[in-house]
Structure 1
Amino acid sequence: MWSSKNIVVFVLLGYGSIAYGQTIDCQKPPPLLDPALCCRDGGRDQIAEKCTEKVVGTANGQQNNGPPTLDTATCLADCILTTSQYKREPKSLNLEHIRNDLTAKFPNDTLYVEAMTAAFTKCEPEAQRRLAAVQQFNPKQPKCSPFSAIVLGCAYMEYFKNCPSHRWTQSPQCVMAKTFVTQCIVQNN
């Protein structure tokens, strides 16, 4: 069964693209690797696990080992942000609650809290712009709004690009992935 971390990576790939001083061919991304192997995130979260169980679940008692559909990933992201109360309205975040929640969960890691809070702050208007573009070209209303998936994908990309040094794993693969992301993945600011 896909874990919530794998689904968040899928969301990141579905609404973004993933993967110092190096030159990289943006037409040839480096081999895919789990971003958490390079930049440790907050770890397992009960809300994400409960949402995974609720949204992905199991079919007839069987585990689903295939990749999630875009609808599944989008609904999972929406469940995570809604249940954690990070989303204030359909298209806006509760940034004060995000900061307070992260501070309570990570009281001894202000660099992580600041990096994640900055990522969500940067990504809220970006997600609003991208959602408007998606809705303009595809007016069909999906099962769950892509806003949360866009926010999470963007936030994890921003966090990866600005990973605090104490959470970063220095390896050739990680350096190459970060170089690719910083040089080749364009975000509207």
Structure 2
Amino acid sequence: MVRATFVICLAVAQLLGRLSAIRVHCRHVERIHEDHIHYCCKHPDGHDEVTEMCAKQTSFRLPSTEEEAMEDVTVDQAMVGTCWGKCVFDQYKLLDSNDTLDMIAVHTHYKKYHKTDPEYETEMLNAFQKCHSNTEDAASQFLSLPIVRAFGTGKFCKPASSVILSCVIYNFFHNCPQSRWSNSTECEETRAFAKKCKDVLTTM
């Protein structure tokens, strides 16, 4: 028992040592790769026919054929890909007729598709719940973003799905359970950067 406690304390001390050794400079954005954050918090891998179908229908570019889960895209990709987000949410029937998140449908979806991974199911449901009440305010903020105004001449769909998805990706990254977190240098740097430089990255 004493030995086990010592080993745990040593592991924690090593982790804290690594975190304290990370020096964050908010101007050095080139060190941070937002498009890699889905590697930091492990989620189930696998082919997703719905996201792929919606990507083809809306000319949305998924990261790769191996990375097709909703969590694989970055927040800025989700925000610009409003038609893709709406298509995915429509296919999974996650919104009601008023474009409001249907939490019963969300629970049903995650219990059906991720019942073999209850921890992931719980974390995603928590993320959706946090984002559920903020949809209207977030939609207003989304529409006022420079990135959206810059693409104002492009084709945009109702933003509710993209706003919710962006919020979910953000929350999943920031509240990742330690058992799912990758302790890679890149992930630790990105999380430290996100906490200190809140106005620098879209994703964070």
Instruction: Work out whether residues 42 and 180 of structure 2, in 8 Å CA contact, stay in contact via their aligned partners in 1.
Output: yes
Report the CA distance between 1:155 and its aligned residue: 0.4
In structure 1, the residue corresponding to 2:87 is in which secondary structure? Answer: helix
Shift of residue 158, structure 1, vs aligned partner: 0.6
Displacement of 1:159 in angstroms is: 0.4
In 2, the alpha carbon distance for the partners of 1:178 and 1:83 equals 32
Q: Does 1:93 align with 2:101?
A: yes
Calculate percent identity across the aligned residue pairs.
Answer: 20
Render the CA deviation track for 1:150-189: whole Å, top value 9, x for unaligned: 1111101110111233332111111111222234337xxx
Structure number with greater CO (CA < 8 Å, separation at least 6) is 1
Task: Quote how far apart the aligned CAs of 1:129 are.
Answer: 0.3
Long gaps (5+) in structure 1: 1-19, 59-67
Distance in 2, Cα, partners of 1:39 & 1:146: 25
Question: Can you list the C-alpha shifts for 1:72-114, whole angstroms capped at 9, x where unaligned?
Answer: 6110011111111111244411112212211221213221111
Flag the 1:136–1:96 CA change in 2: closer, same or farther, 3 A.
same
- The answer for the alignment partner of 2:24 in structure 1 is 24
Larger radius of gyration: 2
**Alpha-carbon distance between aligned partners in 1 of 2:78 and 2:176, rounded to the nearest angstrom:** 27
> Which stretches in structure 2 are left out of the alignment for 5+ residues?
1-18, 62-75, 200-204
Counterpart pick for 1:50 among 41, 49, 53? 53
| Per-residue deviation, 1:27 | 4.3
Letter in 2 for 1:50: M
Q: Is the 8 A contact 1:124 1:151 kept in 2?
A: yes
1:132 deviates by 2.6
Alignment length (residue pairs): 158
Taking structure 1 as the reference length, the TM-score comes to 0.69
Higher mean C-alpha deviation, range 104-113 or range 73-82? 104-113
Any idea what the Cα deviations from partners look like across 1:39-81, whole Å, max 9, x if unmatched? 22233322111111111179xxxxxxxxx99896110011111
> 1:167 corresponds to which letter in structure 2?
R
2:114 maps to: 106
In structure 2, C-alpha distance between the alignment counterparts of 1:39 and 1:172, rounded to whole Å: 13
Contact 1:161-1:182 within 8 A present in 2 as well: no
